[in-house]
């Protein structure tokens, strides 16, 4: 296979455009990726690995795609691992706020249906496993998920309404 320097530069400019588009035009390693792509292309062409010489563009595109993927994997692997910053200490609630919160939760749970109340208590307060709850209630797995989701939503609505009333009363 032989081609002129002009053909080579035309292919190289197309590869550069593809690499720039895929990696971002501000990437500092564009030329390195283009160079590696062209080296692999020339080596494959000399070794006769290109089955269809008319599809030079597709062959070069495949090589370029592989080089870009290798570059991304290498850059992800070489990035320094960020240290985990410790969570800030959570300021505890005062006894009065904690009592008020417990009363609001208890009041909200009382307003739920018996089934919803039992399900939320078993799952969240008693911390029973899903399997235990299924045995006790006779629900199916799908039914459990739906009922739990709806019970949480009903409780959330009740709790939000209570919060609105409390804030209106305090103002």
- In the predicted model, what is the mean pLDDT of residues 143-158? 90
Residue 4 Ramachandran class (φ > 0 left, ψ -120 to 50 alpha, else beta): beta
Q: What is d(CA 99, CA 163) in angstroms, rounded to the nearest whole number?
A: 15
Q: Which pLDDT does position 160 carry in this prediction?
A: 86
Q: Which domains does the chain have, with CATH numbers?
A: 5-78 (1.10.1740), 95-170 (1.10.10.10)
Each residue's pLDDT tens digit, 91-116: 677 788 788 888 888 888 889 999 99
Answer for the pair 56, 11: CB distance below 8 angstroms, yes or no: yes
More reliable by pLDDT, 1 or 11: 11
Answer for the pair 115, 138: CB distance below 8 angstroms, yes or no: no
Task: Assign 88 a pLDDT band (cuts: 50, 70, 90).
Answer: low
């Amino acid at each position: 296979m032989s081609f002129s320097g002009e053909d080579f530069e035309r292919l190289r400019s197309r590869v550069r455009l593809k690499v720039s588009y895929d990696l971002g035009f501000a990437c500092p390693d564009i030329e390195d990726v283009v160079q590696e792509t062209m080296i692999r292309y020339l080596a494959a062409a000399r070794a006769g690995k290109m089955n269809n010489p008319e599809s030079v563009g597709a062959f070069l595109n495949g090589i370029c795609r592989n080089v870009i993927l290798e570059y991304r994997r290498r850059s992800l692997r070489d990035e320094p691992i960020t240290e985990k910053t410790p969570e800030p200490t959570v300021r505890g609630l005062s006894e009065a706020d904690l009592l008020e919160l417990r009363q609001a939760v208890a009041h909200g749970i009382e307003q739920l249906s018996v089934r919803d109340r039992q399900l939320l208590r078993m799952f969240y307060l008693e911390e029973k496993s899903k399997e235990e709850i299924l045995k006790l209630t006779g629900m199916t797995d799908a039914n459990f998920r739906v009922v739990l989701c709806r019970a949480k939503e009903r409780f959330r609505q009740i709790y939000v309404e209570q919060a609105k009333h409390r804030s209106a009363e305090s103002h």
